[in-house]
Structures are given as C-alpha cells and as structure tokens.
Structure 1
C-alpha cells in the first residue's frame, strides 16, 4: 500500500461520529502492549457511564489487526510452542467490556490542522471491502504503532527472510518450518544437507530465545512420527550476530551463560559476523563465509513504520517520533509511546529502549497525564526506570539481571526464580487488561488443556 502525505489526505471524507460530541475524543493508534493497556484503563476511567459515574470522554483504539498478542511471545508462536487461540485477545470484545471503541484499520496519515486521523480501507481474503477509507476526529492523539524490523538495506532480506514483527509473520515461519520437515520426510532418499537448517540473524533477546525454543520444538515435530529425520544431524540452527557477543545490550555474564547453554544445544553461534546478503540458498557474510539455510529469520534492529515519516512531525534517524519528556511530539496534541517513540532521558546518551517494560511504564504515565491535560493542568515529565532484563531459553534455562533493589547495584538471577520473574511480566500485562480473577482462571484453564495437547503445533 502506498503511504499518503498530508497533501494527499482526502478532504471530502467526513469524520466518523464518536458518541457524545460535547465530550473530548481521545484516539489511540496501535493496540500493542502499551496502546491496549492505555485504552483499557482510560476506557474504564473516562469512557464508561453508570449509576454513580458520568462518562467524561470518548475513547477510540485504532488497530490494523483484530486480535492482540503480547509481542514478546512471538518467538513462541514462530517455534510452535504456544497455542495462539489461548492467548489472543479480541479488540472488539475488550472495547465493549472496558469502555472504548475499537476501530479496525491502518493509519495512513494525520491532518493536524483539522485534527483528523485517516485510515485506509480494509479488505477480506477475496478482495471485498470491509471498511472504507475513513477519518476520525481527535482532541488528543496517542500514536503507539510499535516498530518494524530494520533490514539496513541488506539485499535479499525482504524477499528471502522472515521478520517477526507480527503474529502473522510468526505463524508463517512456523508453517514453513513444519512443511519443510514434512517435505524432507516424504521425499525419496535421505535429508539433503541444509534442507532443514535455520539461520537467525540478530542475537538480541528475540533471536536468542527463538534459537533455544526452536531446538526443542523442531525435535517435538520430528517425534510425532517423522522418524526419518535425525534432529541431531539434519536440523542445524545458526545464530548470527554482528557484535562481538550475543545479547550485546545485556551484561557480559548473562551473554556468556546464554552462549554456553546454546552451545550445549549445538546451536552454531557466529559473532563478529555482518550479513551482506540473503539469498534463496542461505546467508552471505562479510568475511566471505556462506551459511546454507532453508529458513532465515531477520531479528536485527528496529525502526519506525514508514507512515511516521509522513505526518509532518520530527522523527529520528530510525524513523521514530521524537518526543519531549512529557511524551509529546512536536505537536502538543499528539503523544507517542512504545517502540515508535524516541526519547533520550535527561542526563542520558541513549534513548529509552524498545522493551515491553518501557511501553508499560509509558502507558501508566499517560493514563494520569492525559487526565491532567483534560483538566488543563501542567504535564509532568516521564521518568523511565530500568528494572533489568530477562532472557528465556524455553524449558532449558532463564537468566537475567534485576535492577533497582539497591542503588547502583544489579543482581544476576537464573533458574526457577528467573523463570517465575519472566512469566510474571506477562501476567502483569494480562492483569492490566483483564484483572487478577480472570487471569487466574485463564491460567488454570491453559494449564489443564496443555496436559491433553501436543507440546508443539503440528499444522
């Protein structure tokens, strides 16, 4: 789809009505972790009316997907170790339950003078229009559309590699993995060299976690009757990183521990290796080496979606929206949060990292500050607090560092405690959306169901 500039925006499309026109309209674009949490909390606080409560604002959430999946789980979807249907959330139902309107569509532009946000038309699989090109009026606009993979102009990435930005991409990778195994099993003759090899480019948290998860699930797929395949010799996973070590953003001790675990799983780790091209046969490196691969995953670097550069707002080199300490863009009526926002805290040299904990903190901050803005009160600056990082290697290991317990100190954790802390991050996100009682019941249901299903997805 071709992105529209401000000059291209349709001028004859009337904005869709949003309930009480006398109330302010808060529009949130993007239903990721931060955007959905913010819409849910604002909806419950301002968007609902009842016997003892008066509605104070119209809240709308715009999202191009119909269901929500917590993005840190995408590597589990790609590996086939998670049942998506048990974890996805319906935006339409969430809005109905929590006082906001869900609007299906993708943002294509913003008319800042008229305070309108424009959406592209949507279509079904047969090409029939579902929703037309529309516009929505806003008094306060929050952009939270996340980030996309940054290929840095590397030839062949868009054509031959799969990025893990969305559940659709993760499920596509999983289908290709299963199909490759079935194809190798059904063909005459032995498995060919490289036929089932996987190359993961980028050894940050996503790439590293995917490598470990794939080691287990690939063997799980083979265990269900594909006995012609020898997982120890026929399936090779290569993790490629341009930096001197994997997990370059985390402490060296964590990187070393994860490296030892992955090497024990026979994952081939290639550091100091810059990718120059991805082809249909595999991955070419700057040092002249070639890594044959049936499947290539690109998990190196992020940037803002292309539409952000067409809004007339200041963007960073990575096409993220530059925001002030109050999370406002160069237009004070437009806020940005999550991976699409670029904020360098005072006294720091690096921006707030694109992590789930940052999006959660920014959602909590904007929840209070938007209410202050509606009252005409001055806005307070956002202060990011780094609580550390955790890396899960499936059922093999979980390691990480926790910060903030003692000033100037961080603690390395691993094992069962680290695994519980890792799982608690997702539970915190679920509690923010559903409340503790529903989360408890859902968790119990998933645990019971898991006992009767294959440990990996087989289709």
Structure 2
C-alpha cells in the first residue's frame, strides 16, 4: 500500500516530510531532474525556499544529472560522465530544496497526491518503499523517450540514448568489442566493429562524427590487429530525404558534406524494418551488417504520462499545456521540457523539444510561480528561437543564429559556432551553479583532461 500523509492536504505535508519543518509551507513538487526540472528546482530553491515562502521538492529516478545534449559524447567516449555528473542530493543541499529518489507511477488529482514506486539497488534490496507525496503545485518535467515505432528487435539489439546509463552502456560495448576483436585468433568479422546509428537528427548526427575520432583513438592504444579504415565503419540512417530534417537545409547540406569527408556512410530515404543481432534490415530489402546499433529515431512522451489521472496527451504522448504551461485539465499541474506540448502563437505548431526551450520554460516558471503564490495572474510563455547548432566533435560545428540582433538569420560554422555551442552548456551550468563556479569548474576539468587519455577506455 502506498504511504500517504496523515495530515490534511491543505497543510502540504506528506508523511516523509512532516518531520522536516514548517507544515504550513506551500508545496511545489517537480518531477524530473533534467535541464528544465533541475534549473527550476534550483531557481525556486534559491528564491522561495531560502526565504521560507514554499517548500520545493525535486523527484527523480536517478541519483545524478547530466545535460542531455552531452549523451552522445559519453556514448562515444570523448566525455567522462563522472566529470560532468551533478549529484541531486548535493545540489538540493546547496540550493535549499529537497530531493526524493523515486519514479512517478501515478497521480491522484482529487487528493493532490503524486505516487512513487519503490526503488531498489543493484542487488534487488529495497532502498525506498512505495509512497506518495502531496503537492499544491506539481510540475512534470520528465523529458521524452526514444520512439521505436514498434520496430522488431530494437529493444533486444539496439541501445537508445535517453539516459547516462545507456550512453555508458554503449561506450562499454564499443570498447569491449574493440578489445575482443583484437584478442580473437580469427580476423575481424564483417559487421563486428560496424556501428549503425538509426536516426539522423542532432543526436545521431553528432554521434556519427564523434565516433569517427574516438574509435580510432581507442584502437591507437595498442590494439594493433585492428585496421580502423578497413574494420571500423559508421553508417547513419535517416528515413527522411535529408539528415537534420528539423533544421534549415543549409545546415543539413554542410553537415552531410563533412560526414562524407569522414567516410561516414549516410543513407537518407531509408527505413529500418528490423534490428537483428548481426545487423539491420531495411525496407528496400537491403541489409547492413552491424553488431553495434544505436537507435535515435524520434521521441515520444514517457508511457506514464498516459496514466496521469485523465490529463490530456497528444498523439506522441506529451502532456498538452496552455500558453501558461499549465495542463489543459488541471491548472495546478504544469508541464515543461520535452514532455510538454506547448502551442506557439499564431498556429506555428508546438514548441520544439530542444534544450533552449527547456531552459526558457524553467526560467519562465521561476518568475511565474511566485506570482501564483500571491494569486496573481500568470504571464504566458513565448518561445524564442535563437537558432540551431550541431557539434561535429573536433572537426567542426555548424548552425544558424536567428536575427534578434541583426534583423535576419545567418549561417555560422567553425570555431565561432563551436564557441556558441559550448556556451549553451555553460548557460545551463550557470543556472545551476553561478558564473564564478562555472569558470572555476571549467578550469579544473581542463587541467584534469590534460593528464588523461582523450577517450574513455573503461
């Protein structure tokens, strides 16, 4: 049975919070510690919670946070997860909010209760029991998951890039495959060290470029029986007529030329119908041998959003929200980030699931939720598109900046584009730690990297 609060809901106290302090504080619960959720919890912790105006609680099923656009670098081995991971418990302690380890499995809107599943360690021992949390305002920010479109074999033989654990898992599989190929008495099998990336969006494209370098770096550390040019092959598959279909064509064209110069096999207008242990089957009858498959073809809302006590979802499972980011059927529940379908003014479709949108939505609610506590009307959120950037590792960065300064959009590439791309991550870090700490942390990581391999080897 779920653990519930003994107190009346209006006190805003659950049974695991009652001993923490003032039982009359307004309860704001945020589910999901991604870019949007963690920035929101940090911002509200620094403002409302530090002044005892509300109690802020962040719920996540993981222990540590990593900025999602970095997952492809972790998978490729060019970035060490441990160097960039942020512990939720520590962040909560530093910024005056509470962290609860758990996974949302349901919702009781009538009693304003969020239901959490039990958690267990690697040996199956229970860490936390099933329980419920009471809220006055609930913000759902659990991101998105990979959409496999029901393709057979994806769950068995392909790895998505939704979490740091999956990125680390692929990196281990890649390094192990190289060591295994070098140690075996027989020649490298066709497809043994071939990597197929299904989905030519930003994640798949960036991973393809990053893998070209890191696979060769791994082999260079004494794996002499592997010939990178002969034995390692990277294929990027996209069902649309071009890679990066959501971005301007000029970015797509520049990216595909660079990938081809790296000998990445780019296949557009190609649909995968099955993933097998030895490769992927295409709709046109072709077959690509590969024992290393990444699936990054499309996203959807997590399945749990369909069990949120009648909240409205769209065709891909996202929560439908109003311009104030409140869900359409419950004004006490907000949704932000990739799990939210937020309309843009003028019928321009929904806000795209991008890191800049998550950052903007979190910043918006940091300002608006204090207004809600004072019963003031909420201002609508308006998405501002500052452009799109695609990092191709050390080779290049390409993108476009929107004309909020010069009155028109313009294409950028090279070192300046790379600096702009890195600045997006620094903006996220600054929202969590402050600018001074970001500068000091960057200097420290730079020094440590000078004394370590440029690629993750374990």
| Common topology (TM > 0.5) | yes
Tell me the CA shift for residue 350 of structure 1: 2.1
SS at match of 2:280: strand
CA contact (8 A) 1:345 1:383 kept: yes
CA contact (8 A) 1:398 1:416 kept: yes
Tell me if 1:390 matches 2:389. yes
Tell me if 1:321 matches 2:319. yes
Tell me if 1:272 matches 2:274. no
Matching residue of 1:31: 33
CA contact (8 A) 2:3 2:131 kept: no
Tell me if 1:295 matches 2:292. yes
The alignment's TM-score, normalised by the length of structure 1, stands at 0.95
Tell me the CA shift for residue 406 of structure 1: 4.9
- Partners of 1:195 and 1:93 lie apart in 2 by 42
SS at match of 1:261: helix
Tell me if 1:218 matches 2:215. yes
Tell me if 1:196 matches 2:193. yes
- Partners of 1:157 and 1:344 lie apart in 2 by 32
CA contact (8 A) 2:3 2:130 kept: no
Tell me the CA shift for residue 346 of structure 1: 2.2
Matching residue of 2:11: none
Within 5 Å, which residues of 2 pair with 1:43-442?
43-48=45-50, 54-311=51-308, 312-329=310-327, 330-406=329-405, 409-442=408-441
- Partners of 1:11 and 1:433 lie apart in 2 by 32
Matching residue of 1:17: 17
Matching residue of 2:44: 42
Matching residue of 2:9: none
SS at match of 2:345: coil
Tell me the CA shift for residue 448 of structure 1: 0.7
Tell me the CA shift for residue 408 of structure 1: 6.0
SS at match of 1:269: strand
Instruction: Show structure 1 runs of 5+ residues with no match.
Output: 1-8, 49-53
- Partners of 1:193 and 1:219 lie apart in 2 by 18
Distance 1:407 1:450, change over 3 A: closer
Tell me the CA shift for residue 422 of structure 1: 0.3
- Partners of 1:376 and 1:447 lie apart in 2 by 47
Tell me the CA shift for residue 17 of structure 1: 1.9
SS at match of 1:276: strand
SS at match of 1:390: strand
CA contact (8 A) 1:32 1:70 kept: yes
CA contact (8 A) 2:179 2:223 kept: yes
Tell me the CA shift for residue 11 of structure 1: 7.6
Deviation digits for residues 22-73 of structure 1, max 9, x if unmatched?
110000000000100000010010111xxxxx41100000000000000000
- Partners of 2:22 and 2:286 lie apart in 1 by 63
- Partners of 2:72 and 2:344 lie apart in 1 by 30
SS at match of 1:126: coil
Distance 1:121 1:11, change over 3 A: closer
SS at match of 2:346: coil
Tell me the CA shift for residue 83 of structure 1: 1.3
SS at match of 1:151: coil
CA contact (8 A) 1:13 1:134 kept: no
The alignment's TM-score, normalised by the length of structure 2, stands at 0.96
CA contact (8 A) 2:65 2:87 kept: yes
- Partners of 1:317 and 1:448 lie apart in 2 by 47
Deviation digits for residues 128-162 of structure 1, max 9, x if unmatched?
11011111110000000000000111111111110
Tell me the CA shift for residue 407 of structure 1: 7.2
CA contact (8 A) 1:321 1:342 kept: yes
Deviation digits for residues 200-253 of structure 1, max 9, x if unmatched?
000000000000000000000000000110001100000000001111111111
Distance 1:256 1:101, change over 3 A: same
Tell me the CA shift for residue 261 of structure 1: 0.5
Tell me the CA shift for residue 267 of structure 1: 0.3
For the aligned residues, what is the CA RMSD?
Answer: 1.2
Tell me the CA shift for residue 175 of structure 1: 0.4
- Partners of 1:259 and 1:301 lie apart in 2 by 19
Instruction: Show structure 2 runs of 5+ residues with no match.
Output: 7-13
- Partners of 1:170 and 1:23 lie apart in 2 by 39
CA contact (8 A) 1:107 1:120 kept: yes
